[in-house]
Structure 1
Amino acid sequence: MNTPAHLLIGAAVMGRKGSAAVVWAALIGALLPDLSLYLLAGAAIYLFGIAPPIVFNDLYFSTSWQAIFAIDNSMILWGGLLGVAIWRRSAWAIALTGAALLHLCLDLPLHHDDGRAHFWPLTGWVFDSPVSYWDRDHGAFWVAPTEAILATVAAVLLWQQRFGIGVMVLVGCLLAAELWIVRQWLFYFTDS
């Protein structure tokens, strides 16, 4: 699933009954499982001048990058942190960890050959789903529009809550980014 959709859905689900601070926590939590990818790829491309095909075809699948991804994409770790947040009755921590865990639950069935070790540290096993959120050869023609619809519904729900101008503008930007990315996946980007 695309990161903007994760942020919108995570904020709508985990922040819908909270304050603006809880929504911001959910937005951050929904971003955290993808943050290492953005930092690693951004540094590789923009600081070290490595060509994007090398970054996404080689470095992405390298042992060192996958080890980092295993940590921030671990359902075990995020589930444990969510348990602590619930035990502490911390609304912002529940929103943050719950949105991160929801992110992983949505990613698990939507990564055909680019998944991550979601059950680390118990195992390094990676589920290779028959379905992909971006690859047209593996269902993106129906997954991507479904994702865009869910992201739109989440954006509308967030706008209806009126969490403040900052949240409303960010939600609008995230929805625009999601719709643009889905357009790119469907019409320009394919694995074949």
Structure 2
Amino acid sequence: MIIGGALWAKQDRPGSLIAAFAGGLAPDLPMIAMVLFATKVTGVPAQDVYGILYFSDGWQRVFAIDHSFLVWGLVLAAGYLLRVFTLTAFAGSGLAHAAVDFLTHHDDARQQLWPFTDWKFASPFSYWDPAYFGSIVAPLEALLVFVLTIMLVFQLPRLWEKALTLAISAIFLVPIVVTGGFHGLHGM
């Protein structure tokens, strides 16, 4: 969300920050909903959610759509063609999320070239798995979020934009500070 905000929020377009934050979250909303439903409603243990359900064909089909470069690219093109900057910021941030995930998921990679192929790029880097440099990528991601948060706070003119940026960043950074580790990143 912070990366999308840094890329797409414009000082002269107050709605662009919210659109960019929403676009940065949107690719993961189906997964969040599915995880919450599985764990809170049906009582599936978290280890089964992340060890079995996450890799099931049904869940992978959803992830293929919500992280598809084609889907996000079409929405981005629509924003440009319709000259609706909030749609452009939303889609651009969603596409940035998909691109970052493309580069930082190994065993948990997504089918981001859907619907053309079911192929997954198993990145040599993971944002969480130490076997694929997660112990390096996670701190770099946290540093990037911290730096971009400071940049946004100084660039954004409205107090509510600064406060929203700090709140979203805190959701990511505070657990790192409190626990002293990166094991809680992205709910993993």
TM-score (norm 1): 0.88
Pair 37,129 (structure 1): closer, same or farther in 2 beyond 3 Å: same
Q: Which residue, out of 11, 16, 30, partners 2:10? A: 16
Find 1:91's aligned residue among 59, 81, 85. 85
Change (3 A) 1:188 1:146: closer
In structure 2, runs of 5+ residues without a counterpart are none
- Is the CA contact 2:139–2:182 (under 8 Å) kept in the aligned structure 1? no
Matched, 1:60 2:54: yes
Map of 2:29 onto structure 1: 35
CA RMSD of aligned residues (A): 1.9
2:137 to 143, 164, 178: 143
- Greater relative contact order (Cα < 8 A, sep 6+): 1
Q: 2:162 aligns to what? A: 168
Deviations 1:98-150 (A, max 9, x none): 00001111110100100110010111111111111001121012111111111
Aligned structure 1 segments of 4 or more residues deviating by more than 3 angstroms:
162-166, 180-189
**Partners of 1:149 and 1:177 in 2: CA distance:** 14
> How many pairs are equivalent?
183
Identity of aligned residues (%): 34
Bigger shift: residues 55-64 or 151-160: 151-160
Per-residue deviation at 1:18? 4.3
> Contact 1:112 / 1:128 at 8 angstroms: preserved in 2?
yes
Q: 1:155 aligns with which of 143, 149, 160?
A: 149
Cα distance in 1, alignment partners of residues 16 and 168 from structure 2: 18
Amino acid at match of 1:61: F
In structure 2, C-alpha distance between the alignment counterparts of 1:172 and 1:36, rounded to whole Å? 25
TM-score (norm 2): 0.90
Q: Distance in 2 between matches of 1:41 and 1:134?
A: 18
Deviations along 1:6-37, whole A, 9 cap, x unmatched? x0010111113442211100111111111111
For the 8 Å contact 2:23–2:91, the answer to whether it is kept is yes
